[in-house]
Amino acid sequence: MQLVVISGKGGTGKTTVAASFAYLNKESIKVDCDVDASNLNIVLQGENIASSQFIGAKIAKIDKNKCIECGKCSEVCRFGAIKNNKIIELKCEGCAACKAVCPVDAITLEDEVTGETIITKTDAGILSRAEMVVGAEGSGKLVTEVRKNAMEYRKNNELMILDGTPGIGCAVMASITGCDVALIVIEPTQSGLNDFKRILSLIDHFGVKPLACINKYDINEDMTLEIQKYCENESVEVLGKIPFDPIVQKAVNELKPVICYEDSIAGKEIKNIWENIYKKYKEGIL
Amino acid sequence: MKIAVLSGKGGTGKTTISTNLAKAMGWNYVDCDVEEPNGFIFLNPKVIKTEQVSIPVPEIDPSKCIGCQKCVNICQFNALAWANKDVLLFDKLCHGCGACSLVCGYGAISEVDREIGHIDVGNDEQITCMRGTLNIGEPMAVPIIRDLKKMIGNEKTIIDCSPGSTCSVVAAIEGVDYAVLVTEPTAFGLHDLKIAIELVRTMNIPFGIIINRGSHEKDLIEEHCEKEKINIIGKVMFDKDVAVLYSKGKLLVEHEKYKELFLHIGKKVEGEIACSLL
């Protein structure tokens, strides 16, 4: 089973939940799909055992010696990436339109390194992750690569736990496609409900089974009820309600998964949620 | 005058800071977090206009296509494929760059608009608010952000960005006069803040930091900023009341103490921008 922890929005507690799951099932393979702000390794720590550069895009280069400054390239560039016969790298999408119109073959497309993929051996098992080059594009491709790397370490069809990306764009799609189950972490706020509705449509779109849990449910119990009702109508099972717990902040600062704190009420609920998922998995329901 | 609010990490309070700053200072507000635009929940403007956002995608006329496959070969995004003696289009992969129609020597490719989202324009009592919304199942946010940016006038405008430091954020902060980096005093916050700092420095944008959910003690963000000589322009204390107000979709500046805080932060931002122009 591939289980992705997702939220629509950032900061709802995805990593807190995913890191705890990782500890509760150490033999599972962990994947951090949040390639532009990868945090799972900060909690799980460990040692990097492999890494490689990832070429995820192309970028145009102009050979100054050949360029006759006719300006045709900047005329066709729809991304505003060519000014005064120079490429603005952050804006170039590597589409090759400029190359196609250059009368003197002064433009080439070169491979661009968009990130580094890393395998980290942690106390809680193997973690596949990446660090994206700041401002690079193609985060979806990098997520796909990180997931591919994880598969290499999956010898006996172990469980896979994926920490998803925020939003609903390309990186999120790359995080959830091909997963069996998506656990959506929802915050009981107006925007939390909004984001939940959007991510749920996306999950449905890709035929992934949705499950839900509400984090910090007691900061707004009316909203929690509204979300529960919404889930019921949409036939999404709510596996648990995690209470607001100051120990979570402490856990983040001490870089330990919250389930390691015995007196943490949030930790206890996360453990319940995990056991519920694991039971369903063993029974073949998930 | 454009001011971007970004964070590296999600959930740090970008939308809280941007909507409250906009309201306190009377600045226009633009929500560029098109994957999850939430600013309107708090500002609640009256929407007066909605515009579709489209990108041009190729349409192939089979009666003119001779099957040379030049279009398939030039497409860098695998949006065109050759199958069964036909050119096949995967429209969601298309970036709308037009390279295919440029290389087609037979006039077989024309371009048609495909909708990927929309932009709402609304009015609050004093400010103009805009937001972009990406349709569900669409991978590319950047064209919507670009269209939004084109609609911004000369008035002071605050731009609420998406989390992270990807191409969407680059598109949102390109050409702004100042960047406000919102962070929280945790190891995650600092890790992601460093990435956001690298981004604004690469793009030569003057910036300052706002610490959200802070405490009266000196935290790891302050230590980092001191070492790196970065300006902290404001601090919003950790307060459960804030979380409760947020959860109800309420603005903080409706309360006197927060109104003052945001006015103070806003003036500091104005001062910083003035200094950066010297």
Q: Are residues B11 and A39, on separate chains, in Cβ contact within 8 Å? A: no
> Are A142 and A246 members of one domain?
yes
| Residue-wise DSSP of chain B | -EEEEE-BSTTSSHHHHHHHHHHHHT-EEEE--TTS--HHHHH-PEEEEEEEEEEEEEEE-TTT-----HHHHH-TTS-EEEETTEEEE-GGG-----HHHHH-TTS-EEEEEEEEEEEEEEE-SS-EEEEEEEPTT----HHHHHHHHHT--SS-EEEEPPSBSSHHHHHHHTT-SEEEEEE-SSHHHHHHHHHHHHHHHHTT--EEEEEEEE-SS--HHHHHHHHHT--EEEEEE--HHHHHHHHTT--GGGSHHHHHHHHHHHHHHHHHHHHHH-
> Does A49 reside within a domain?
yes
Q: How far from A183 is each of A7, A160, B241, CA to CA, in Å?
A: 8, 13, 28
Rounded to an integer, what distance in angstroms lies between the CA atom of residue B31 and that of residue B152? Answer: 11
Cβ of B10 within 8 Å of Cβ of A216? The answer is no
The neighbour count for residue A50, using CB atoms within 10 Å, is: 13
Please state the ipTM of this predicted complex.
0.89
Closest chain B residue to A72 measured between Cα atoms? B102
Q: What is the CATH number of the domain that holds A226?
A: 3.40.50.300
- Tokens standing for residue A76: 């066709």
Within a domain: residue A59? no
| Cα of B118 to nearest chain A Cα, Å | 15
Phi/psi of residue B249, nearest 5 degrees: 75, 25
pLDDT at residue A249 in the model = 87
Phi, psi (rounded to 5 degrees) for A19: -65, -35
Q: Does B133 touch chain A (CB under 8 A)?
A: no
Contact residues on chain A for B76, CB-CB shorter than 8 A: 58, 93-96, 109
The reply to whether A276 and A153 lie within a common domain is yes
Q: Does B8 touch chain A (CB under 8 A)?
A: yes
- Do A80 and A189 lie in one domain? The reply is no
With an 8 Å Cβ cutoff, is B143 touching chain A? no
Whether residues A10 and A148 fall in one domain:
yes
Show the tokens assigned to B141: 């946010």
Domains of chain B: 2-53+119-277 (3.40.50.300), 55-115 (3.30.70.20)
CA-to-CA distance for B87 and B64, rounded, in angstroms?
12
- The verdict on A88 and A121 lying in the same domain is no
With respect to residue A120, please indicate whether it lies within any of the assigned structural domains.
Answer: yes
Q: Is residue A129 part of a domain?
A: yes
A166 and A120 within one domain: yes
Is the pLDDT at A282 greater than 90, yes or no?
yes
CA distance B154 to B151: 10
Same domain? A244 vs A173? yes
Domain match, A75 and A147 both: no
Q: The tokens 């000369």 sit on which residue?
A: B154
Strands B46-60 and B109-123, how do they pair?
Answer: antiparallel
Indicate whether A241 pLDDT > 90.
yes
With respect to residue A16, please indicate whether it lies within any of the assigned structural domains: yes
Token match 């069809």: residue?
A: A157
Task: Please indicate, yes or no, whether residues A207 and A270 belong to a single structural domain of this protein.
Answer: yes
Nearest-CA distance from B242 to chain A in Å?
10
Provide the shortest C-alpha distance from residue A155 to chain B (in Å): 31
Query: Residue A216: its pLDDT value, please?
Result: 94
C-alpha angle A220/A169/B245, rounded to 5°? 20
| Mean pLDDT, residues A172-183 | 96
- In degrees, rounded to 5, the angle at the alpha carbon of residue A39 between the alpha carbons of residues A203 and B181 is 95
* pLDDT tens, residue by residue, A39-51: 999 999 999 999 9
Number of domains in chain A: 2
A174 and A192 both lie in a single domain:
yes
Residue A110 per-residue DSSP state = E
B11 and A189 within 8 Å at the Cβ level: the answer is: no
Q: Are A189 and A183 in contact (CB under 8 A)?
A: no
Name the percent of chain B lying above pLDDT 90.
Answer: 89
Q: Report pLDDT digits (tens) over A150-163.
A: 999 999 999 999 99
Percent of chain A residues topping a pLDDT of 90: 92
Distances (CA, A) of A72 to A106, A107, B56, B71: 12, 11, 20, 19
Residue B9: pLDDT band with limits 50, 70, 90: confident
Give the model's pLDDT for residue A238: 98
Copy the structure tokens of residue A46: 């460990």
Residue B80: beta bridge partners? B89
Q: Does the residue A83 lie in any domain?
A: yes
Confidence (pTM): 0.93
How many CB atoms neighbour CB A264 within 10 A? 21
Tell me which chain A residues have a C-beta less than 8 angstroms from the C-beta of B203. 90, 135
pLDDT in tens, B136-154: 999 999 999 999 999 999 9
Give the pLDDT score at A92.
Answer: 94
Domain boundaries, position A87? 64-105
Residue A8 has pLDDT above 90, yes or no: no
Q: B66, B79, B134, B74: which is closest to B100 by C-alpha?
A: B74
Q: Is B76's Cβ below 8 Å from some Cβ in A?
A: yes
Residue of chain A with shortest Cα separation from B201: A134
Cβ separation of B139 and A170 shorter than 8 Å?
yes
pLDDT of residue B241 exceeding 90, the answer is no
CA–CA distances in Å: residue A164 to residues A253, A278, B177, B247: 21, 19, 32, 23
Q: Which helix (H) or strand (E) holds A82?
A: strand A82-83
**Integer Cα distance of A19 and A245 in angstroms:** 16
Sheet holding B109-123, edge to edge: B46-60, B109-123, B128-134, B28-31, B157-160, B2-6, B178-183, B207-214, B232-237
Using pLDDT thresholds of 50, 70 and 90, give the confidence band for residue B110.
Answer: very high
**Residue A97 to residue B247, Cβ atoms within 8 A:** no
Is the CB of A37 less than 8 angstroms away from the CB of B11? no
For A32-80, write each residue's pLDDT tens digit.
999 988 999 999 999 999 999 999 999 999 999 999 999 999 999 999 9
A237 and A158 assigned to the same domain: yes
Q: Which two tokens stand for residue B225?
A: 């900023």
Residue of B8, B98, B187 with shortest CB distance to A37: B8
Chain A nearest CA to B270, separation (Å): 26
CB-based contact, B240 to chain A, within 8 Å: yes
Assess whether A90 and A199 both reside in one domain: no
Chain A: give the shortest CA distance to residue B114, in Å. Answer: 16
Q: What is the pLDDT of residue A9?
A: 81
Is A139 in contact with B97 (Cβ distance < 8 A)? no
Helices A190-205 & B240-247, crossing angle to 10 degrees? 60
Largest CA distance in chain A: 71
CA pair distance A201, A277, nearest whole angstrom: 22
pLDDT at A10 over 90: no
Rounded-to-integer distance, Cα B61 and Cα B110, Å: 8
Point out the residue among A97, A190, A253 whose CB comes nearest to the CB of B41.
A190
Which CATH number does the domain housing residue A80 bear?
3.30.70
Compute the mean pLDDT over every residue in chain B, rounded to the nearest whole number.
Answer: 95
A110 falls within a domain = no
Give A127's DSSP letter.
E
